[in-house]
Amino acid sequence: MEKQVLVVFPHPDDEAFGVSGSISKYIDSGTPVTYMCLTLGEMGRNMGNPPFATRETLPEIRKQELLNASKVMGLKDLRMMGLRDKTIEFEDPEMLADMVTDTIEELNPSLIITFYPGYSVHPDHDACGAAVIKAVSRLPESKRPKVECVAFSHNCEEDLGKPDVIRDVSDFIDRKLDTLEAHKSQTAGLMAGMKKRLQANEEELMNWIKFERFWTYSFDE
């Protein structure tokens, strides 16, 4: 049983794909969850399908979508950190780590969930994960929370091995799908295809929805 979970991702909808089942499961079990979302995803390419956003309106739309997704999951502690989308890789790494350190000191989480630096495809993902690892590595070993990382680059299993945490979120499938759907500016096209595949009971997709996979970061690396 975790006493406090901290989720740190750079974009609205990052939580929806691989972690929303875990967030919902922890919240339902009574574990407090805090989500630090570093940006509003204002540089996202998708404007809805059919388009309902413009480059000017997208930030406010994605902010509302994130609030809607948080409500679906039952998440009450959402922190929008105000950094700019697609610039996380260019921010001062010490500043990013300080931001995470301040939150760790405030919350004293037993578990942090973030991206695995170097294995998460997007530069913002990798920079976010690196900031979390830097912040946690500053702590004495006895005071470090566990860090579970999301990875999905083509070489992640080849380099890291199989994920060592596979969390069954079968009871939260509907909530996970609703969380994905809440980010409709980014996921409308995806959800249309996904629903057809779900109706066909496609095994690979069902496994992806039912089980969330993480790599526990080893600070001996």
Nearest to 212 by CA among 154, 183, 171, 184: 171
Q: What is the mean pLDDT of residues 25-33?
A: 98
Nearest to 135 by CA among 152, 147, 150: 147
121-161: pLDDT as tens digits: 999 999 999 999 999 999 999 999 999 999 999 999 999 99
The domain spans of the chain are: 5-216
8 pLDDT exceeds 80? yes
Contact indicator for 126, 149 with CB cutoff of 8 Å: no
What is the predicted pLDDT for the residue at 84?
94
Q: Which range, of 6-10, 168-172, 180-184, 193-197, averages the lowest pLDDT?
A: 193-197
Strand order in the sheet with 33-39: 77-83, 33-39, 5-9, 111-115, 146-150, 211-216, 165-168
SS3 string of the chain? CCCCEEEEECCCCHHHHHCHHHHHHHHHCCCCEEEEEEECCCCCCCCCCCCCCCCCCHHHHHHHHHHHHHHHHCCCEEEEEEECCCCHHHCCHHHHHHHHHHHHHHHCCCEEEEECCCCCCCHHHHHHHHHHHHHHHCCCHHHCCEEEEECCCCCHHHHHCCCCEEEECHHHHHHHHHHHHHCHHHHHHHHHHHHHHHHCCCHHHHHHHHEEEEEECCCCC
What is the predicted pLDDT for the residue at 221?
58
What is the predicted pLDDT for the residue at 101?
98
Contact indicator for 217, 114 with CB cutoff of 8 Å: no
CA distance 210 to 113: 18
Q: Which CATH superfamily is domain 5-216 in?
A: LmbE-like (3.40.50.10320)
Cα Rg for the chain, rounded, in angstroms?
Answer: 17
User: Which residues partner with 166 through β-bridges?
Assistant: 213
User: What pTM does this model have?
Assistant: 0.95
CA distance 47 to 36: 24
